[in-house]
Structure 1
Amino acid sequence: MDAAADGVPPTAPAATATTANSDLDLAARRRLFISQPSTLATRRQQAVCVRRAHKMYGSSKNPNVVLDGLNMTVPKGSIYGLLGASGCGKTTLLSCIVGRRRLNSGEIWVLGGRPGSRGSGVPGPRIGYMPQEIALYGEFTMRETLIYFGIISAMSKGDIEDRTEFLLKLLNLPNASKFVKNLSGGQQRRVSLAVALLHEPELLILDEPTVGVDPVLRQSIWDHLVDITKNGHTTVIITTHYIDECAQAHMIGLLRGGKMLAEESPDYLRQQYNADSLEDVFLKLSVLQNMGKRRRSSIAQEIVEQVTVPAISNPALDMSDEQHAAEISGEFGDNISMSSAARDPISTTAPAAPPLPPPQEIPTSFWYNLHVMQSHHLHALIWKNFLWMMRNVGVMLFIVGLPVVQILLFCYAIGHDPTGLKLAVANHEMSGEMIMEQFCPVHTGCNQTMLSCRYLDMLVKNKSMVVQYVTDDEMAYEEVRKGRAWAALVIQPNYTASLMERVEDGRYAEDGTIESSDLAVRMDWSNQQISQLLYRDLQYTFFNFVGDMLSDCDVNPKLGRVPVDFQHPVYGYRNPNFTDFAAPGVILTIIFFLAVAVTSGAMLIDRNEGMLERCLVAGITGPEILLSQVVTQFTVMLSQTTFVLIVSFYFFELTLVGNIWLVVALCILNGLCGMSFGFVISCAVDTERTATYVAMGSFLPIVMLCGIIWPIEGMFPLLQFFTAFLPLTKPTESMRSILQRGWGIDNPVVYNGFISISSWVLVFLVLTILLLKFKKG
């Protein structure tokens, strides 16, 4: 009997007689499935079953509808060609099928289960997925790429090697040791196809697999797809730009505007729509769809007359939107030409469908998906991460060396007292010749001769100031006004005599004597740090000058000091430096933000190259990705922390009074917190630029508000409350107490820092897992 005469879809051109029987069987099973009531068993007769699928993006006020009540049925053991223009929803539909996106409404069944449900194996090893993009690491060789995905699929080493050799030969690829980045675009796509074919999945989903492929090789790929579907154990869904290429498929679905225009065998469609090619079929169905959507609009009569309306009613095209919605509201409302099995002659002449298996649980071999972590997944991910590091040695050396460079710059540039500050001195005790020669004679011992020179000599010896002698007061002030000096010092002609008279007369000294014995100083206060240093050194040097002079004359030097005795400090030093204050916060900041940069970059590389999506479809879970990144990035962070601490405390000998191991532990926790924050950024944003903006935007508030460069007690009261909840506030206080006070873990200030940073690590890790799980679109 002629199959075409009975309404049976003719076989594909490349199919054999066996394939023809298979086509007949598939069509019969599909029609029987559609006519039966909804049961779990009937769903399992299909590889993919989509019903009433709605998917939209954007807000409810301005939605972008991608899938609009779509129905789709893919029988097991078939090649299903999904055709449609760019933007019609093909990629979104495939993402929903593999469980990476969620429908707004409707249902999807894949291989007998719901995608993403426990034990379904979808996403997982039951699916082979080739996305539109290459989604491969350019730094890996073809063999390493296939080894990586083979380990994910729990394949043995021997099986991976055998399949690698077979696929390289099948796809006409060069030597397996060649790097992916050195391949041509067409070769890279073939490697991507090899990854999908590697573990011989039950459902093979190929998104544009033959773009840029030689016609002979394209036919070889199609022959292989036909071959692997003969036994009924493998189902293929393929999208392609070459419409007539899908003539070799058992069944095709024509997708337009988020709706399925038709779903039949290629020859059956050409016959029913009296078309020479599938492209003509698509054109006619598109016109009919437009007629259904715009019934009152004017359509060129000659175009309408050229469209041969099929004998079988087409509810998707010739009914109103309300009727169409009612039609598909049933459990198994079908697409074009499949609304009723009674209208199809094959329902009475085709071979009976295989008996339906009784309802049963999902096969126990897939219950391992219940486990959050799987050892072979972690093995593959960690191996991949370290291999990437080995292939990017220059990048890794920069990443490890950068914190060392930063701490070197900090220790050399920050916290040291300024030196060589110019002081313009108008000393009227000096003669004009002395001023010309820039020489002021110093007399030691109990000698009251030109005491101003003795004071100035002590001032120069502390190396903070350079004295420049000028002839008059106004010239000294002019040096400051023009920025050539930081301060002007004026000493009266009778300074020595007035100073001695002031000391001897005490409260009875005359006003003129007191004024003549003063050192008149005018400063440039525009720079607070330098001004404070000059203010301090001018006073401290004077106290030392008076004390030394009194000691030389056998007088108690305390008589020349302020009657406040600052004894040895409880913590720190009498002359603290800014380096010791800022070092704890700077060390933690360097470790924290470098960890942020490294981890966010690593995750975004995976995402932007498509590897993250491909791995998730292969069954990798968010916690597995997170743990693998923690393990590999922890190694990098640990090396960074080690070098930073060695440089800080061994080479520069920063103050360290407490336990060094508490410092190490706090730095490691701080690095983990930075890593976790980097994971959150990489999962929340889509591009490296946005990640950079987020990291930079968080850097300045943390540096300014966490007490790193200025005490929290000096901030606005509301900010003081807010800063307590930032990641580095408590750890900075904790580390500062360990380094300069020597406090242990039993002190509340210390252990609060450990509690705070540990809490932030947990918060960031939980956010990362949630973003990996739910940010699917």
Structure 2
Amino acid sequence: MAEEAAGLDAASTGSAADCTEMEERTGHEDCYDLCVVRPLFQQEENMKADPEASLPAGQEASAILCRDACRSYGKLKVLSNLNLTVPQGHIYGLLGPSGCGKTTLLKCIVGTLKISRGHISVLGKPPAYPGHGVPGRMVGYMPQELALYNEFTISDTLTFFGRIHGLTAKETRARMDFLVDFLDLPQKHSLVRNLSGGQKRRVSLGAALLQNPELLILDEPTVGVDPVLRAKYVTHTPSDVCFWLFANVPLSHAEAFDGIYNGEYWGVIGFGENFTSYLTKRMLQRQVSREVVDGGSVHVWLDLTNRQIALMLQKNLHEAFQTFVETKLGSLSYLVALPIKFEEPIYGSLNTDFTTFVTPGAVLSITFYLAVGLTALSFVLERKEGLLDRCWVAGVSSLETMLAHLFSQLFVISVQIVLLLLFILLVFKLPNEGSLVLVVVLIVLQGITGISFGLVISAAIDDEQNANQATLGIFYPNLILSGIIWPVECVPYPLRYISMALPQTYASEALRCIMYRGWGLSRMMVWRGFAVTLGWNTFFLVLATVILKLRS
């Protein structure tokens, strides 16, 4: 330990000179983190050594060797005369600000980018050398992006990469079982698109570790991963060398709050200086002071202007703390856990978001008001141009006129409904646990209700401006009070009675019951939505017919 401390002190003394040297090579001034991280990972003392110089006696062969490496994008120099030596059997951390060329360097090392000038050797040979396994089975690469197929399950993903690397089915299964346990992955048959962000990062890491590569390159591997798994990453590195790339630089207290005030961040998490000791006292001692309670607490400051993001952050923080407690205390974790346990939901998912709640009502609202917009001006324009009077003189009845508009507009609405369903079910992947026929019929009935209401407006109003104002004037109250944006139970009581009488309130509730609960017409909440919609259809059609008859 004394020797290591002396080595770190010596490295710290030379950090300013190293930083100047790195600035000259890369053209980036902000390289302090890149310089000081090298002695921590026991790398070479001087990266700008003679390219032909041999390694010190007793040092292992180099896994990565860069000499005078240059890479440019047009006139922009990203790497300039970079010299780097990474011995085998080491973990090497590369730290630097965004845009300084870290990812470009990694791509040059794995052979997906060619350097403009200089030399790079990986595991003894240049990248993409014929017959060399880089890129290939010898290197495991986890990019900054997730780079996963959302349509695959975890098993499909690992099997896919196993076949790429030439593993047998038996070898793939063995590695898969190990990685699922090591990375604490969900069930192997879980779809990638249904995983959380942290779980997807772990699956991506598993794909990089699958073939047990000699060289492991990780680009920001701990983003979205809890601290316990981060420690496992460091302590378990089966490859001969692990090359880590980080871009998240810690901020000071003032910088973090400035970021929130400037709208750059949604929250700040603060840990006191003696957080660990205070937290331990809180857990083990029966009675502690207020100072210990406060010092052993995680302090969170949030920007609550976006309620959905704030709720998501609060939920994730609670889950992360619960995981931490369960890992550290094991069977004693109940001592600091809330005495509340949320079991698997009877309907829906634990990860249900606001979009899932809003969508059924939004679909009905879009269908309803598209229909209103198509028909609100129908009779207004025909009356203005004299066509309505001419038809009446020719013997066409009011009912026939109204039904002709109804069926012609229904065809247009049907096309819009088909496109709407294709997007919400196939593109946005919203769940539908019930009958698709009931979903379609209810949406079509809402479209007919919109057409009927548009005919009432068109029959009662003579000019276009007043017809448009009537349509827009009814849109917003209906959107707010129909349980589309927030539940009807949250509407104040005087307005709740009005809400119950609107044409979309019960219909939205019925559509949610069909799509998310899988209910049918035997349930009161479902058939009530159909009954109310049919009632409004009949009322609007009769009213439009009466108004037309009176005006003719």
Aligned to 1:736: 512
Alignment partner, residue 489 of structure 1: 269
SS of the residue aligned with 1:719? Answer: helix
In the alignment, residue 565 of structure 1 is paired with which amino acid? K
Match of 2:307 among 510, 528, 532: 528
- Please tell me whether residue 771 in structure 1 is matched to residue 547 in structure 2: yes
Q: Hey, what does 1:315 align to over in structure 2?
A: none
* Counterparts of 1:750 and 1:674, CA distance in 2: 20
d(CA) in 2 for partners of 1:446, 1:550: 18
Q: Deviations over 1:695-716 (max 9, x none)?
A: 1111101100000001111111
- The equivalent position to 2:475 in structure 1, one of 679, 685, 699, is 699
Asked if 2 retains the 8 angstrom alpha-carbon contact of 1:446 and 1:549, the reply is no
User: 1:469 corresponds to which residue?
Assistant: 250
1:518 equivalent in structure 2: 297
Matches of 1:606 and 1:713 in 2, distance apart? Answer: 43
Q: Structure 1 regions of 5+ residues with no counterpart?
A: 1-416, 420-436, 451-465
Amino acid at match of 1:707: G
Alignment partner of 1:581 is 2:357: yes
Q: Share of identical aligned residues, percent?
A: 33
Question: Which residue does the alignment assign to 1:3?
Answer: none
- The worse-fitting range, judged by mean Cα deviation, of 479-488 and 735-744 is 479-488
Higher Rg: 1
CA distance in 2, matches of 1:446, 1:611: 75
TM-superposition CA deviations, 1:456-503 (whole Å, max 9, x none)? xxxxxxxxxx976323x3443343334333323221222223333433
For the residues of structure 2 that align with 1:642 and 1:746, how far apart are their CA atoms?
26
Contact 2:434–2:515 (CA<8 Å) still a contact in 1? yes
Contact 1:477–1:488 at 8 Å: present in 2 too? yes
Give the secondary structure class of the aligned counterpart of 2:301: strand
Residue number in structure 2 paired with 1:499: 279
CA–CA separation in structure 2 for the residues paired with 1:716 and 1:622 = 41
The answer to whether the 8 Å contact 2:228/2:324 transfers is no
Measure the CA separation in 2 of the matches of 1:622 and 1:418: 59
Q: Secondary structure at the match of 1:526?
A: coil
Deviation at 1:617, TM superposition (A): 1.2
The residue number in structure 1 matching 2:91 is none
Whether the 8 Å contact between 1:418 and 1:530 is mirrored in structure 2 is no
Q: Which runs of structure 2 are paired with 1:520-559 in the superposition (5 Å)?
A: 520-551=299-330, 555=331, 557-559=333-335
Q: How does 1:589-668 map to 2 (within 5 A)?
A: 589-668=365-444
Count residues with an aligned counterpart: 321
Shift, 1:444, TM fit: 4.5
Partner of 1:132: none
Counterpart residue number, 1:16 = none
SS in 2 for 1:488: strand
SS of alignment partner, residue 367 of structure 2: helix
The code of the aligned residue for 1:730 comes to Y
Amino acid at match of 1:687: D
TM-score by length of 1: 0.39
Instruction: Note if contact 2:435-2:518 (Cα within 8 Å) is conserved in structure 1.
Output: yes
Q: Provide the C-alpha distance between the structure 2 equivalents of 1:442 and 1:583, rounded to a whole number of angstroms.
A: 32
1:510-550 deviations in Å (ceiling 9; x for gaps)? 54433222112222333333332322222222222322334
**Amino acid in structure 2 at the alignment position of 1:760:** W
Aligned to 1:479: 259
Deviation of 1:581 (Å): 0.7
- Counterpart among 340, 347, 352 of residue 571 in structure 1: 347
Helix, strand or coil: the match of 1:470?
coil
Q: Is 2:522 aligned against 1:746? A: yes
In structure 2, C-alpha distance between the alignment counterparts of 1:671 and 1:681, rounded to whole Å: 15
TM-score between both structures, scaled by the size of structure 2: 0.54
Query: For the Cα contact (< 8 Å) 1:494–1:516, is it kept in 2?
Result: yes
Bigger relative CO (Cα 8 Å, ≥ 6 apart)? 1
Give the whole-Å Cα distance in 1 for the aligned partners of 2:258 and 2:428.
Answer: 40
**1:775 to partner: Cα distance:** 1.6
Aligned equivalents of 1:442 and 1:623: distance in 2? 67
Pair 517,771 (structure 1): closer, same or farther in 2 beyond 3 Å: same
Mark the CA change 1:517 to 1:679 in structure 2 (over 3 Å): closer, same or farther.
same
Deviation at 1:447, TM superposition (A): 7.7
Aligned to 2:268, the other structure's residue is in SS state strand
Letter in 1 for 2:271: I
1:241-278 superposed Cα distances (whole Å, 9 cap, x missing partner): xxxxxxxxxxxxxxxxxxxxxxxxxxxxxxxxxxxxxx
- Residue type of the alignment partner of 1:487: G
Per the TM alignment, residue 556 of structure 1 is displaced from its structure 2 partner at its CA by 5.5
Render the CA deviation track for 1:551-588: whole Å, top value 9, x for unaligned: 5xxx4654553221111111111222112211110000
Structural RMSD (CA):
3.1
Shift of the 442–597 alpha-carbon distance from structure 1 to 2, 3 Å rule, reads closer
Equivalent in the alignment of 2:79: none
Where structure 2 has 5 or more consecutive residues not aligned to the other structure, the ranges are 1-195, 199-219, 235-246
Structure 1 residues 444 and 773: alpha-carbon distance in aligned structure 2, compared to 1, 3 A threshold = closer
Which residue in 1 is equivalent to 2:63? none
| Alpha-carbon distance between aligned partners in 2 of 1:499 and 1:624, rounded to the nearest angstrom | 78
Matched to 2:312, the amino acid is L
SS in structure 1 opposite 2:346? coil
Instruction: Kindly indicate whether the alpha-carbon contact (under 8 Å) linking 1:599 and 1:675 is maintained by their aligned counterparts in 2.
Output: yes
Per-residue CA deviation, residues 393-451 of structure 1 (Å, 9 max, x unaligned), is xxxxxxxxxxxxxxxxxxxxxxxx999xxxxxxxxxxxxxxxxx9x9999757989x9x
8 Å CA contact 2:368–2:450 kept in 1: the answer is yes
**Residue in 2 aligned with 1:688?**
464
Aligned counterparts of 1:514 and 1:635: Cα–Cα separation in 2: 67
Residues 418 and 755 of structure 1: CA distance in aligned 2, closer, same or farther (over 3 Å): farther
| Residues 1:561 and 2:337 are matched in the alignment | yes
Superposed CA offset, 1:164-208 (max 9, x none):
xxxxxxxxxxxxxxxxxxxxxxxxxxxxxxxxxxxxxxxxxxxxx
SS in 1 for 2:501: coil
Measure the CA separation in 1 of the matches of 2:433 and 2:419: 20
Structure 1 pair 741–443 and aligned structure 2 pair: CA distance change class (3 A): closer
Secondary structure of the corresponding residue to residue 493 of structure 1:
coil
